Structure 1
């Protein structure tokens, strides 16, 4: 298994640069005037592309804020994890690495996304949809690693549960003012999935 995905072609690199320019322009405008007041035309002008280009790259408007072209990289990294590693630990590693990198390289965009997750129902709804899409993509690699069929019920349930839990942890982080560090919070979320939820003893202090 390859540890890294193939190098993108020149055409693919140009597409990635265009998508990045659109996202950067959209985030700047949204931070200045709010997402609902930001139009496709304004984003296009700021990114120096046509409105049709924005729509072609991002058919769903909220995807400009939410998609970061990381799904294929996540898939490649998941396939490159050690063969004997537990699936939950493999997903933990690739997702936490991706979030750590995003926080290091584009912290303002991550914080803006968190703000709009709380403020705008359409952004939160689309976040749920895109997380589910990522889960369906990664379930193929989980199936490969566990020797199961891609449409195996247990594979689908497991992958959806992990990605859904990480999504809920991200929303929790956004709703609570981003006071905690996101990566340890996601790590704790995976620990909860692994250990399950136990009954709290009467009088026991909340951790």
Structure 2
């Protein structure tokens, strides 16, 4: 990036940080674009230069580029599941405490605000095909390979399990819970070999 592009990215990230703090402290629905602009000490028109809507503030993912850099640095020959966990841990570990806490807020909003969840579904964000498009090249296989698709679906299943734990109040950090779920897979799919118990009459 040139200097101008880097400055724009910093401004966009700073606007998002102010917005996420307001969403966390006052609620998403209760926070307006004017509130965000005032907190960031910019005009309303400046906000709309960087984000088309309030939803776009949540949809902007500043961690993805970090994850791509971490993935590129994973040594060749690293087992795939270990590589996925490494990317997750190192990417979020590179954030300072507030940035990580705000990323947790962003992910929670992406899951719980209906308008944002709808946009993500329409974009097929975090779909099997999207994950397979990354897993395939990393393993030297085609994204349509059945094993690539199955692994991608299992990773998404771990995401859903982590979310279920969060929804049930059994976990406080989505990132840590997802890492724990992926760790459970290292020994194989849990319960896969467990015999089914019949119901007694």
TM-score (norm 2): 0.71
Higher radius of gyration, 1 or 2: 2
Distance 1:21 1:134 in 2: 31
**Number of the residue aligned with 1:121:** 114
| Cα deviation, residue 174, structure 1 | 3.0
- Which structure 2 residues correspond to residues 107-118 of structure 1 after superposition, within 5 A? 107-113=100-106, 116=109
Do the aligned partners of residues 73 and 119 (structure 1) sit closer, same or farther apart at CA in structure 2, a change above 3 Å counting?
closer
2:177 is the alignment partner of 1:185: yes
> How many residues align structurally?
193
User: Which is worse superposed, 99-108 or 33-42?
Assistant: 99-108
Distance change in 2, residues 1:184/1:109 (3 Å): closer
Cα drift, residue 19 of structure 1: 1.3
Secondary structure of the 1:122 match is helix
Residue number in structure 2 paired with 1:13:
6
Q: Alignment partner for residue 20 of structure 2, among 27, 30, 35?
A: 27
Give the aligned CA root-mean-square deviation in angstroms.
Answer: 3.6
Q: Is 1:168 matched with 2:160? A: yes
Q: Structure 1, residues 24-72: CA drift from partner, whole Å, max 9, x if none? A: 2212322343111222233223223344443453345334235331212
1:95 match: secondary structure: helix
Q: Which residue pairs with 1:70 in the alignment?
A: 63
Unpaired runs of 5+ residues, structure 1, are 1-7, 203-207
Q: TM-score, normalised by structure 1?
A: 0.69
Q: 1:66 to 1:165 in 2, by over 3 A?
A: farther
Q: After TM superposition, which residue ranges in structure 1, 4 or more long, deviate above 6 angstroms?
A: none
**Unaligned 5+ runs, structure 2:** none
Answer yes or no: is the 8 Å Cα contact 1:44–1:54 preserved in 2. yes
CA contact (8 A) 2:22 2:31 kept: yes
More displaced 10-residue stretch of structure 1: 161-170 or 22-31: 161-170
TM-superposition CA deviations, 1:179-201 (whole Å, max 9, x none): 45555422331134441131377
